[in-house]
Amino acid sequence: MATVQAPTRPQIQLHEGLFVNEPLVDFSKEENARKMRAAVEKVRAQLGREYDLVIGGKRVKTTDKIKSINPAKPSQVVGLHQKAGKDHVEPAMKAALQAFESWSRTSVEERTSLLVRVGDLLRERKFEFCAWLVFEVSKNWAEADGDIAETIDFCEYYSREALRLSKTELPVQMPGERDTLRYIPLGVGAVIPPWNFPSAIMAGMTLASIVSGNTVILKPSSDSPTIAAKFVELLEEAGMPGGVVNFCPGAGASFGNAVVAHPKTRYVAFTGSREVGLDINKSAAEHRPGQLWIKRTILEMGGKDAIIVDADADLEAAVEGVAVSAFGFQGQKCSACSRAIIDERIYGKFLEKLKTRVEKITVGDPAENSYMGAVINEGSMKSILEYIEIGKKDGRVITGGSPAKNAGEGYYIQPTVIADIPPKSRLEQEEVFGPVLAVIKSKNYDHALEIANDTEFGLTGAVYTKSKDKIKRAIQEFHVGNLYINRKCTGATVGAHPFGGFNMSGTDSKSGGPDYLYLFTQGKAIGEKII
């Protein structure tokens, strides 16, 4: 099989020293605000451009198109994309397999240097990439910055992790032998990211794949293909050989399903809904002619996350943590607080303070840096409003409960708090993925933990309490992949909070942690007799 040669480029050295998270931008400083406003205008002038599929390094056009629109202004086209179909699966797979022959044999130093260069380019264009997120998925400036900063973190962190794995030493050497363990790449992976972190999650799964020596068929969400296209352009500029990442936006029911089912697909990295994740897991488990392996699935599938507020908690801190966790990025985070479980002794006071805090939230165009922008699309808006109506029947609306019609033409919904929601009700059990918070009254701490654990999900959770004993119990009994004590349940930081959940929240993949690259490699033990 022919190999794909990497273009000649200067070797880039990995940044020395320990990993350090990318600093977040302080937009209260006028200099930074001015840079962001300029970036917004620069990107605004580029809206509506057309982007091609990228297969084997070549641009491909299709008859069918995907139109990415601005949720805050649905009449505004962010990008026009080619739509990959079933007939593009084989060309993409062929290109990825061909590139794997050489990419899998490149040195780990060369692969990590690619990631470092991407991180450097992202730092140089941070405000511009933030602006694309503002327009394509309606993130405010700080949310967009967090997304891009995490992307840069993945470039740096996974580079270091790949180098660490390449230097693995075994604790035992048999007499007369040289015993080693190598972590080798798997093959061609299908990377299927969501729209809510269209840079960080998309790039994180892709970067982990390629730094490990794999090649990728990347199918971004149809709601956020433009930021993925910009990222692929960045990879190419950094010197990525053709075929290492093949950019193929397309429908999940056609292109996505066909890639998952393909016998040459070695693994699937997916973040999205429970329903789609389970379908992927089922399809990947089926052996097909020509398939030599058990496909690996790396799945993150959402949550129904809870914050417990005990009677002895710092009430002001708890209210702030709940509000920020529930309504940051319109509640469209798999880590978002969608359930607040409040001890009955402070229930009324908590609701009063929460109502005051939530009603300070501004809803409007994120290009103007409103705290809450629009939800992602019309279908999502309809679904969220239906859940609000369900909640109105089971509980009482404290604030919100309607579209935010005065915010503009986009898919705006008021931040909504619905109290007195009973355990086991739909609003308490089902993932809404929008700015809707269900508040549940607990009799005591035992009852609160029981309610918190009584869902099929187990992604994030938080507890506000001053009791060391109750903190210890939460660590032992609150069954979530990411538990936070006396702080919000969103905002996992690379290196500090490896991210991934239990139960129907996925396979506990722990992105941004020391275990993550193991999922994209396989261990090969070598015992060599010394002659």
Helix (H) or strand (E) holding 265: strand 265-271
- What pLDDT is attached to residue 10? 36
pLDDT digits over 109-140, tens only? Answer: 999 999 999 999 999 999 999 999 999 999 99
Query: Is it true that 32-301+509-527 and 305-493 share their CATH fold?
Result: no
Helix (H) or strand (E) holding 260: helix 257-261
- What pLDDT is attached to residue 17? 73
Q: Do the beta carbons of residue 111 and residue 211 sit within 8 Å?
A: yes
β-strand partners of 526? 180
β-strand partners of 506? 300
Q: Which CATH class is domain 32-301+509-527?
A: alpha beta
C-beta neighbour count of 526 within 10 angstroms? 11
Q: Domain map of the chain by residue range? A: 32-301+509-527, 305-493
Residue recorded with tokens 């939230």: 361
Q: Do the beta carbons of residue 103 and residue 213 sit within 8 Å?
A: yes
User: Is pLDDT at 22 greater than 80 in this prediction?
Assistant: yes
pLDDT digits over 451-473, tens only? Answer: 999 999 999 999 999 999 999 99
pLDDT band at 4 (very low <50, low <70, confident <90, very high): very low
The rounded percent of the chain whose pLDDT value lies above 90 is: 95
pLDDT band at 16 (very low <50, low <70, confident <90, very high): low
Angle at 21 between CA 121 and CA 225, to 5 degrees: 50
**Residue 249 structure tokens:** 């936006």
Cα 143 from chain centroid (whole Å) = 13
Angle at which helices 141-166 and 126-137 cross, to 10°:
120
pLDDT band at 15 (very low <50, low <70, confident <90, very high): low
CA gyration radius, the chain: 23
Query: Is the pTM above the cut of 0.75?
Result: yes
- What pLDDT is attached to residue 5? 36
Alpha-carbon distance values, 23 to 52, 148, 281, 513 (Å): 33, 11, 37, 19
Angle at 458 between CA 216 and CA 478, to 5 degrees: 140
Count how many Cα atoms sit within 13 Å of the Cα of residue 127 in the half-sphere of its side chain.
17
User: Is pLDDT at 18 greater than 80 in this prediction?
Assistant: yes
Q: Please, what is the average pLDDT of the chain?
A: 96
- Enumerate the active-site residues: 300, 334
pLDDT band at 299 (very low <50, low <70, confident <90, very high): very high
pLDDT band at 142 (very low <50, low <70, confident <90, very high): very high
User: d(Cα 222, Cα 280) in Å, to the nearest integer?
Assistant: 17
User: d(Cα 175, Cα 111) in Å, to the nearest integer?
Assistant: 34
CATH architecture assignment, domain 305-493? 3-Layer(aba) Sandwich (3.40)
- What pLDDT is attached to residue 253? 86
- What pLDDT is attached to residue 463? 99
pLDDT band at 3 (very low <50, low <70, confident <90, very high): very low
User: Is pLDDT at 14 greater than 60 in this prediction?
Assistant: no
CA dihedral 69, 334, 146, 206 (to 10 degrees): -80
Mean pLDDT, rounded, for 267-288:
98
The amino acid that residue 201 corresponds to is I
